[in-house]
Structure 1
Amino acid sequence: MVKVATTKLDRARVARAALDLLNETGLEGLTLRAIAQRLDVKAPALYWHFKDKQALLDEMATEMMRRMGAELLAAPDPDWRVAITAAMRGLRTHLLRYRDGAKVFSGTHYTDLSYAAPMEAMLRALTAAGFAPAAAARAWFTAYSYTIGYVIEEQATGPGARGGAEGYDLAARAERLADYPLAAAAGEEMFRGHDRGFETGLAAVVAGIGSTSVIAGE
């Protein structure tokens, strides 16, 4: 292992090491002790920067946001439907770069304002399209929540989940559900073809936003 202890230890460096380790261990295997070993320091050194694992997850999510910031700062399309769809596709793509990435991202509190500029740009695009500020915020959060939730399930059941190269064992699932044929058949739709499934669901969310929000000029 390459020795890296000569570099000053700070929160951002710990978060970067944790994200690297995340892809090897998953969230359950990510511990402060394992991160300390990766950084070639003693575990107590990390407690100067993070009081607990949740504080570390907050910094990891913030580092993920910093990394995707440039992509999210691209000028949104004037068509709000295209803009919000593109933003959610980008968010999913980024979360999938990390094992359990959506779980890390979900429910965390950012430690800086790296999220603010992309969020402001999207809300401005929505309000420019005729959304009231509250409706714009609700539209953004609804699409965001769908994306986070979808990727959590995708990463929990897709290829590599729980050690399975192919993901969810649909044959075993169908056997367990032999007396419930519709539920058994639903497995193929829910646990395979995640790209198509995400797009179908996202289109439904965007259509729902359009049909339930009062948008000036529409």
Structure 2
Amino acid sequence: MAQKGLARDTVVRAALELLDEVGLDGLSVRRLAARLGVQNPALYWHFRNKQELLDEMARELLAPEMGGPGEGESWREWLTRRAHRYRRTLLSHRDGARLVTASDPGASVAWGFEEELRTLVGLGFTPGQGLHAIGSISHYTLGFVLNEQARRERRERGEARDLDAYADLPLTVAGVREVGAPTSEEAFAHGLRLILDGVAASLRAR
């Protein structure tokens, strides 16, 4: 049958390419089928509904494993590297953060998380401390990128305001001039350091 000949990974890659073009709101099974030159039922052979397609797209996005700490790398250096890599992954596709929040990437990603917890336990964390550490950093990164990508969309639509538009908020303007935009690379790194300082404090308290 024709639908059997359409490989699942081909569909997912095409869906991610379409996501970059039209965004999450514009992504539909109909548009994806048209892109692939097939009828809608050919896609439903692989995915029962759009949600299953989104889940598979998120799984593809998150599939590359982080791996453990490198030679001589501390837990703090490792978690810093992990957070920056996660941010780059989410930014690698339009609406990448929204895609992840709207999806369940499944068991393979969950097992990767389990291995990361195992690594932190081996470095002196309790399972709960490891869960809080990775969870807090992941949620911070996801929220940061959600805001970052939303601001980018507004800029592309010409809806973003420049700094002069905030003249009636002098402290806000002064703060931005001092440390940069709240969605900058430096802002992300600063927030991450604050979280890691808290993780280190909780370890010392134990």
Shorter-chain TM-score range:
0.7 to 0.9
Q: Is 2:118 the counterpart of 1:116?
A: no
State the SS of the aligned residue for 2:171: helix
Q: Secondary structure at the match of 1:139?
A: helix
Alignment match, 2:95: 100
More helix by share: 2
Contact 1:102 1:151 in 2 (8 A): yes
- Structure 2 counterpart of 1:170, from 162, 181, 184: 162
Residue of 61, 65, 69 corresponding to 1:76: 69
Deviation at 1:205, TM superposition (A): 1.1
Aligned AA for 1:168? Answer: A
8 A contact 1:84–1:122 mirrored in 2: no
Kindly provide the CA deviation profile for residues 168-187 of structure 1, in whole angstroms up to 9, marking residues without a partner as x. Answer: 32347526xx2x44356566
Corresponding position: 1:203 with 2:193:
yes
How big is the shift at 1:32?
1.0
TM-score in terms of structure 2 length: 0.83
Tell me the distance in 1 between the aligned counterparts of 2:164 and 2:38. 45
204-213 or 107-116: bigger deviation: 107-116
* Rounded Cα–Cα distance in structure 2 between residues aligned with 1:96 and 1:80: 24
Over 3 Å counting, the alpha-carbon distance change for 1:21 and 1:196 in structure 2 is same
Match of 2:171 in 1: 182
Is 1:140 the equivalent of 2:134? yes
| Percent of aligned pairs with the same amino acid | 35
Match of 2:81 in 1: 86
Kindly state the Cα deviation for residue 27 of structure 1 after the two structures are TM-superposed. 1.0
CA distance in 2, matches of 1:121, 1:52: 31
Q: Is the contact made by 1:95 and 1:151 (CA closer than 8 Å) also made in structure 2?
A: yes
CA–CA separation in structure 1 for the residues paired with 2:82 and 2:56? 22
Q: Does 1:26 align with 2:14?
A: no
Aligned-partner Cα distance in 2 for 1:109–1:144: 15
Separation in structure 1 between the aligned mates of residue 157 and residue 106 of structure 2, nearest angstrom: 35
Deviations 1:45-83 (A, max 9, x none): 3233333322221110001122x23xx12x314411111
* 1:51 partner SS: coil
Structure 1: distance between partners of 2:182 and 2:106: 36
Instruction: Deviation per CA, 1:88-139: give whole Å up to 9, x if none.
Output: 111111111101111111242124414523x234212211221111111111
Aligned-partner Cα distance in 1 for 2:22–2:55: 18
Q: Write the distance in 2 (CA, Å) between the matches of 1:167 and 1:185.
A: 22
Are residues 187 and 103 of structure 1, via their aligned partners in 2, closer, same or farther at CA, if it must alter by over 3 Å? farther
**Secondary structure at the counterpart of residue 26 of structure 2:** coil
Instruction: Give the superposed CA RMSD.
Output: 2.8
Instruction: Identify if the C-alpha distance between structure 1 residues 48 and 111 changes in structure 2 by more than 3 Å, giving closer, same or farther.
Output: farther
